[in-house]
Chains A and B, each alone.
Chain A
Amino acid sequence: MSLLLAVDTSGALVTVAAADGDSLLAEQAVELAARHAEHLAPMIAAVLVEAGRAIDEVSAVAVGVGPGPFTGLRVGVVTARVLGLVLGVPVIGVCSLDALALQVAEWGEGSAGSAAGAGDLAAGREFVVTSDARRREVYWAAYRTGDGEPEPVRGPGVDRPADLASAAARDGLGQKGFGPFFGRGAALYPEVLTAPPEGAPLDVRAGAVARLAGRRVARVGGSERARGQEPVPLYLRRPDAVAPGARKRVS
């Protein structure tokens, strides 16, 4: 028996999941614009109760490392790192857009032939996953569908929607020349990026973080937590800071 605890605070959702191998035991998600720090720990406790497991049964912790707004993103990363330390278990970082891409691909398989737009997700096609980067920009990454996990082909990056659309058109991503675009970022700027198809997932869920991390743990054989191997946030932007200019006169 194993117990993987997964968290993601990179977007508008604070989301937590508990999984045992391929089976998802519990998953919760709450929509929050901010205040991730308040809700994450109680949600972890609640998910474990729902899963019928105790915290000391956790055998690995997975965390979405963004990209996403910094303050919320760090809540998930520091929580995962410290839980890993306390419980003495490995901590696995997963790009949050990778998890959302997995959700999109799974949705495409489930609704192929029915939902409009799902056809764009046939094997070998490329698609772009986006999230809200605020400041009129989106975080994005491009993937190619295959069997199972979508393969990352470009990104992650942060750009203005119009720049992303023209780059995608230039690089020939997707069948329409630009896109299709999925996720919260596309939903926010449908006139520039094309609206995501009806019913397609918009936000990353911890269950998808758990599925990706679980496969990666299986692949590398559940490696020990090594120093310097802690998950690192994908900030993609430098801190806003300006060196002071010349002194201002007071008289």
Chain B
Amino acid sequence: MSLVLGIETSCDETGVALVRDGRLLIDAVASSVDEHARFGGVVPEVASRAHLEAMVPTIERACAGAGVRLADLDAIAVTSGPGLVGALTVGVAAAKALALGLGVPLFGVNHLAAHVAVDTLDHGPLPEPTMALLVSGGHSSLLLVEDVTSTVTPLGRTIDDAAGEAFDKIARLLGLPFPGGPHIDRAAAEAVAERGEGVRSAIAFPRGLTSGRDLERHRYDVSFSGLKTSVARWVERREDAGERVDVPAVAASFQEAVVDVLTRKAVLACREQGVDTLLIGGGVAANSRLRALALERCADSGIRLRVPRPALCTDNGAMVAALGSLLVAAGRAPSELGLGVDSAMPVTAVRS
């Protein structure tokens, strides 16, 4: 029996969750997203201040909601990287105070590995190996996960913008609110409902790194900056001509370009690496079209698809507690009390 408390503060969500023997008891999240909305992106200092204010109340809320006392905890897990330095620092300092005050082990964990581990809360142990596609505002990575408690190999990543970042930028261009993902998803779904599937290919936006030399050199990498520029040019041309911009059609076609590339690369990696399970995580995994297209393509290739429920795809404490719980179960050594934060922590380091 082990009860693990997980803390996540790598970006703008203060997450605290409790996991007992691989089962999620509670996932408490305080978000500062509204404070960042008017800046069109996360402001690091605003996020750090919000983490400090939310930390104690969120820990209290998690414990009260689960009917657990702090004294019952067996271990503390915390995101030690990658992420925003100031934001990570608040979480790591809080986790260390808990570990020190309670006399329990501390695990500093990798945020990306935690995005993979969270799926065990919904769907049980991970097959080994598993291919993981992590897509969010901060990351777009394709990982070969042999053992999420020890061995994760990066196969590909974005060479420019993260997928979620592209959604935010295009949403802004189209006059949709921040964060852009859910708004683009909704606008696209409405367009499809009104005009049929064809609207997804109404505008031929480019698919970066998917053919010729680019595909050879960046087999599993993705790129969204060319797509972003192409959408911006298309919109500007309509505006210059005094025409109305067909926002739903742009949203649907842009979204299709993103999820087409992501699913194509992920399925390619599974086939070439002989992996029969694909896991999709990160905030963009909540995108309905990404889920649908991935399911379709995985079925065609005999690949099992695992996607955690949307609330577990975005950044939260549950992912950290889940990985902490797996580390405890696997008997991995805890981190030192001198644990630091590493804003650029490589995914090959599951634990620091």
Contacts from A to B (Cβ < 8 Å): 35-42, 44-45, 55, 70-71, 74-75, 77-83, 85-87, 230, 233, 235, 239-244, 247, 249-251
User: In the complex, A247 Cα to B86 Cα: how many Å?
Assistant: 29
Q: For residue A240, which residues in chain B have a CB less than 8 angstroms away from its CB?
A: 43, 45
Chain A binding site: helix, strand, loop or mixed by DSSP? helix
Which B188-245 residues sit within 8 Å CB-CB of chain A?
229, 232-233, 236-237
For B56, give its contact among A41, A82, A239, A243 (CB under 8 Å): A82
CA distance A35 to B102 in the complex (A): 23
Give A71 to B232 CA distance when docked, in angstroms.
37
Give the contact stretch, choosing among B87-95, B110-118, B138-146: B87-95
Closest Cβ–Cβ distance, residue B145 to chain A (whole Å): 28
Q: Tell whether B60 is near chain A: CB-to-CB under 8 Å.
A: yes
Please name the residue on chain B nearest to A80 by beta carbon. B97
> With an 8 A cutoff between CB atoms, is B101 at the interface?
yes
Asked if B338 contacts A85 (CB within 8 A), the reply is no
Residues on B close to A: CB < 8 A? 38-40, 43, 45-46, 48-49, 52, 55-56, 59-60, 70, 85-86, 89-90, 92-94, 96-103, 172-173, 229, 232-233, 236-237, 336-341
Contacts of B341 in A (CB 8 A): 37
Asked if residues B56 and A37 are in contact (CB atoms below 8 Å), the reply is: no
Contact B172 A247 (CB under 8 A): yes
Residues of A within 8 A of B97 (CB): 41, 78-80, 82-83, 86
The reply to whether A75 and B232 contact each other, CB–CB distance below 8 Å, is: no
Residues from chain B with a CB closer than 8 A to the CB of A80 are 97
Nearest Cβ on chain A to B321's Cβ, whole angstroms: 17
**A42 CB contacts on chain B under 8 angstroms:** 336-338
| Cα–Cα distance between A159 and B167 once the two chains are bound (Å) | 41
Q: Give CA–CA (A167, B337) in the complex, Å.
A: 45
Q: How many A-B residue pairs have CB under 8 A?
A: 115
In whole angstroms, how far apart are the Cα atoms of A249 and B101 in the complex? 54
User: Given A40-B93, A79-B93, A80-B97, 15 more contacts at CB 8 Å?
Assistant: A39-B338, A40-B96, A70-B45, A74-B52, A74-B86, A74-B90, A78-B52, A78-B97, A81-B56, A83-B101, A239-B49, A240-B45, A241-B46, A249-B232, A251-B232
Residue pair B45, A82 in contact (C-beta under 8 Å)? no
Contact check, B52 vs A85: say whether CB atoms are below 8 A apart.
Answer: no
B32 to chain A, nearest CB (A): 11
Contact B173 A70 (CB under 8 A): no
Q: List residues of chain A with CB within 8 A of the CB of B236.
A: 249-251
Assess A85 versus B90: contact at CB under 8 Å? Given A79-B97, A250-B233. Answer: no
Residues of A close to B338: CB separation below 8 A? 38-39, 41-42
A247 proximity list for chain B (CB < 8 A): 172-173
Asked if B93 contacts A37 (CB within 8 A), the reply is yes
- Chain A residue contacts of B85, Cβ below 8 A: 71
> Cβ of A83 and Cβ of B100 under 8 Å apart?
yes
Residues in B whose Cβ lies below 8 Å from that of A251 = 232-233, 236-237
Of A37, A70, A75, A244, which is in contact with the most chain B CB atoms at under 10 Å from its CB? Answer: A37
**CA–CA, A130 and B338, complex, Å:** 30
